[in-house]
Amino acid sequence: MKIAVYSQSYDKSTKKVMQDLLDIGNQHNIKFYLESGFYTLLNINSNILSAENTFSSHKDLNNSFDLMITIGGDGTLLRSVSFVRNLDIPIIGINTGRLGFLATINQDLLKPEMSKILLGKYRIEKRTLLEVKIQGSKLINEFGIALNEVTIGRKNTTSMIKIKTILDGEYLNSYWADGLIISTPTGSTGYSLSCGGPIMSPLSQTLSLTPIAPHNLNARPLIISDKTKIELSVSGREKSHLLSLDSRIISVENESLITIQKASFKINLAYFDENSFYKSLRNKLLWGEDRRNL
C-alpha cells in the first residue's frame, strides 16, 4: 500500500500520530511518502524518521497512491487538495485540531481506524470544487481551486465594499457588505455557517452566496445550482480588496472581473460510516442535546 502524508506543523500530537503510522506501516508493509516540508519539520524536531520517500508538489504524485493522510485540522486537509488535485486519490484526515468536520479520524483511535483502511472498510464521497479566474490577471497560479469557499472581503478599511453579482449573465444584486462568501456544500459548515449561511448536504448539487455583515438587513443567503456561472466585481474606497480560496489569500484590484464556476473534477474524501456527515452535525453542533443537563 502506498500512502502520502501531509501536515503543516509539528507538535507532540503530530509526533505521536507519526510514530503510530510508522509502526503500522512496518507491520503491514505500507510505504509512506511524506510532504517535503513536513519531513523537514519532523527531522528538525525528532529522531523518529530514517530516510523516507518525499513529495513536494502535485507533479510528484500519481494514481499509484492509494490514499492521502493529513495530520492536523480541517485547514490542513484543505491545503492537501493542492497536492492531490485531479488524481482521484482519496483523502482522509487524522484530527489533532479542534472541531474537525473534514478531518474525522480520532488520533486516539488511530490503530483500529487504520485497520479499517487496510481492509478497505471506508466510503468515498466526491466533493465539489470551485474554480476561480480573474480576467486579465495572473495573480492566481495554475491551481485556482477551493474546496470550502471563495470569499471576497474588504482590505485596509473599515468601510464596506460594493460587490456586483451576476449569475449566468443575469444581474442579481450589488451587495454593500464587508464581503461575500461563495460556499460549496463541503464549506457550508465553515465560515459560511458562522456568517449565517445555510448548511448543505455534501452531495447536494448546490452553492450558496452569503453576504458578510450586509448594510441592508434584507440581503439574505441564497442557494443556487452548482452549474451557475458567477461573475463578481468590487468597488469601494480602497483600490483593492481581498480574495481568498479556502485559506489562500491574494489582493485583487477593484473593478477586476472575477469568475467562479464548479471545477471540472472533484475531490474524493474518505470516511467511515460512524463519521457520516449527519452524525457529525449531531455531535459537533450538539443537536438534540439538552443544555440544562450539562
158-211 pLDDT, tens digit per residue, is 999 999 999 999 999 999 999 999 999 999 999 999 999 999 999 899 999 999
pLDDT tier for residue 293 given thresholds of 50, 70 and 90: low
Segment (H or E) for 14: helix 12-28
Q: Contact, 13 vs 107, CB < 8 A?
A: yes
Mean pLDDT (the chain) is 91
Q: What is the mean pLDDT of residues 90-100?
A: 86
pLDDT at 140 > cutoff 90: no
pLDDT at 91 > cutoff 70: yes
C-alpha cell at 66: 492509494
List of E strands, the chain? 2-6, 31-35, 53-55, 67-72, 91-95, 105-106, 123-127, 130-134, 145-146, 149-153, 161-167, 170-177, 179-183, 206-212, 222-225, 230-235, 240-245, 248-253, 258-262, 267-271
Query: In the chain, what percentage of residues exceed pLDDT 90?
Result: 65
Q: What is the pLDDT of residue 50?
A: 61
d(CA 282, CA 265): 30
- CB proximity list for 222: less than 8 A, separation 6 or greater: 172, 208, 209
Q: What is the pLDDT of residue 7?
A: 95
pLDDT at 71 > cutoff 80: yes
d(CA 119, CA 264): 31
d(CA 122, CA 170): 42
Q: What is the pLDDT of residue 77?
A: 94
What stretch(es) of the chain map to CATH 3.40.50.10330?
A: 2-127+266-293
Q: Virtual CA dihedral for 168, 205, 177, 246, nearest 10 degrees? A: -110
User: What's the half-sphere exposure (Cβ side, CA atoms, 13 Å) at 34?
Assistant: 21
pLDDT tier for residue 83 given thresholds of 50, 70 and 90: very high
Q: What is the pLDDT of residue 201?
A: 95
Q: What is the pLDDT of residue 51?
A: 58
Active site residue 74: yes
Q: Contact, 52 vs 32, CB < 8 A?
A: yes
The DSSP call for residue 186 is: G
Tell the CATH topology of 2-127+266-293: Rossmann fold (3.40.50)
Of residues 23, 74, 273, 290, which has the active-site annotation? Answer: 74
Give pTM, 2 decimals: 0.91
Q: What is the pLDDT of residue 108?
A: 86
In sequence order, what are the beta bridge partners of 126? 268
CA angle 129, 9, 81 (to 5 degrees): 15
What stretch(es) of the chain map to CATH 2.60.200.30?
A: 130-262
Q: What is the pLDDT of residue 294?
A: 59
Tell the CATH topology of 130-262: Tumour Suppressor Smad4 (2.60.200)
